[in-house]
Amino acid sequence: MSAEEQRTTEEVPEWKRQEVAELVDLLETYDSVGVVNVTGIPSKQLQDMRRGLHGQAALRMSRNTLLVRALEEAGDGLDTLTEYVEGEVGLVATNDNPFGLYQQLENSKTPAPINAGEVAPNDIVVPEGDTGIDPGPFVGELQTIGANARIQEGSIQVLDDSVVTEEGETVSDDVSNVLSELGIEPKEVGLDLRGVFSEGVLFTPEELEIDVDEYRADIQSAAASARNLSVNAAYPTERTAPDLIAKGRGEAKSLGLQASVESPDLADDLVSKADAQVRALAAQIDDEDALPEELQDVDAPAAPAGGEADTTADEQSDETQASEADDADDSDDDDDDDGNAGAEGLGEMFG
């Protein structure tokens, strides 16, 4: 170490060394460390915010030079945060993830009045409606700053939403006074996160600002799509195994019904299928004398949507109609003889 470096080290006051040591200890204790902007926050509100973070995050203020030294001494990449140490800032440390820290700091912000000379953080609007102020000079003050105000029904009213200062413009004395009179607090006071370092990664506020509800919906949609893909591809997992078994059971039952496989598990369905086919066939015959009594005046059954019985009954009906058409073309006998023959045939079929 050179004589100049030795002399510089000896000149550092003890309280500064102690302060840096405490900051380094803080940085090494938590998983995530961020730099926050505290410009314009009144002392009382800053203390309230500090208390609000108690148990979840630690807020530490110090001289910027000491904050930079502590970040550099802590190592592990924390020195990347030094670029954000400018102006009135502090360090916030937590074991929560950066996204949780960002949401917590955003939720802790509160509305506050804006003073003359400050830059509008967004468009400042005087909303439409009754101001509740009696007629007087104040209506002129509103009109002076660009608000569409009139005296109506015994009070001063703003006829439509009026932008009195656009985002990025400096707030004038007149605007500040009118907003104060109306009780409008157009800005939010809170800890603005400039950057967070966690697990070797530096996050900016833009990367941490997400819509939680939209993100949750995207995750749920992706999970549902993955589940469907797994089931359709017959890829068994702990979560999809019950669905695959149910799907296989349903396909086996459908195949058994179509092939008329005799099985105790299919007996009831096969009987229902046969009954539906008989009723569909009986409904196609106009001559009631050709049908046994129990099948007279029956309508074609309404099979469940997508049911096998409906498809089979339709196929049977088509086959029946085609057979009747062939019989009509090929037969040279009298129509009455054909009807009597059909009646006798059905009588034998149904006993």
pLDDT digits (tens, 9 = 90+) for 159-172: 999 999 999 999 99
Q: Percentage helix, strand, coil, to 5, in the chain?
A: 55, 15, 35
- Torsion (CA) 315, 318, 324, 326 in degrees, nearest 10: -100
Q: How many CB atoms within 10 Å of residue 177? A: 14
Residues 24-40: what's their mean pLDDT?
A: 91
> Cα 73–79–85 angle (5° rounding)?
110
Pick from 188, 210, 222: nearest CA to 97: 210
How many alpha carbons lie under 13 Å from residue 173 in its C-beta half-sphere? 0
> What pLDDT sits at residue 159?
92
> In this predicted model, which residue has the larger pLDDT, 308 or 114?
114
- What rounded mean pLDDT belongs to the chain? 80
Between CA 133 and CA 154 the distance in angstroms is: 9
Residues 232-237: what's their mean pLDDT?
A: 87
> What pLDDT sits at residue 138?
93
Handedness of CA 284, 286, 291, 295 (dihedral sign): positive
The mean-pLDDT minimum among 147-151, 152-156, 273-277, 321-325 falls in 321-325
* pLDDT at position 6 over 60: no
Query: Bridge partners of 198?
Result: 32, 201
Handedness of CA 103, 104, 105, 110 (dihedral sign): positive
Domains and CATH numbers, the chain: 10-109+190-206 (3.30.70.1730), 124-186 (3.90.105.20), 215-258 (no CATH), 267-349 (no CATH)
DSSP 98-166: HHHHHHHHHHT-EEE---TTPBPSS-EEE-SEE----SSTHHHHHHHTT--EEEETTEEEE-S-EEEE-
Q: Answer for the pair 203, 54: CB distance below 8 angstroms, yes or no.
A: no
Tell me the pLDDT band of 124, cut-offs 50, 70 and 90. Answer: very high
Model-level pTM? 0.53
3-class SS of residue 296: coil
The mean-pLDDT minimum among 2-6, 73-77, 256-260, 284-288 falls in 2-6
* pLDDT at position 298 over 70: no
Torsion-angle region of residue 55: left (phi > 0), alpha (psi -120 to 50) or beta? left
């600002």: which residue's tokens? Answer: 209
Q: What would you report as the CA-atom Rg of the chain, rounded to the nearest whole angstrom?
A: 42
Residues 218-240: what's their mean pLDDT?
A: 89
> What pLDDT sits at residue 73?
92
Q: Answer for the pair 229, 145: CB distance below 8 angstroms, yes or no.
A: no
CA distances (Å), origin 325, targets 152, 178, 234, 261, 298: 87, 92, 46, 31, 23
* pLDDT at position 174 over 90: yes
> What pLDDT sits at residue 302?
59
* pLDDT at position 126 over 80: yes
The mean-pLDDT minimum among 20-34, 87-101, 254-268, 273-287 falls in 273-287
* pLDDT at position 235 over 80: yes
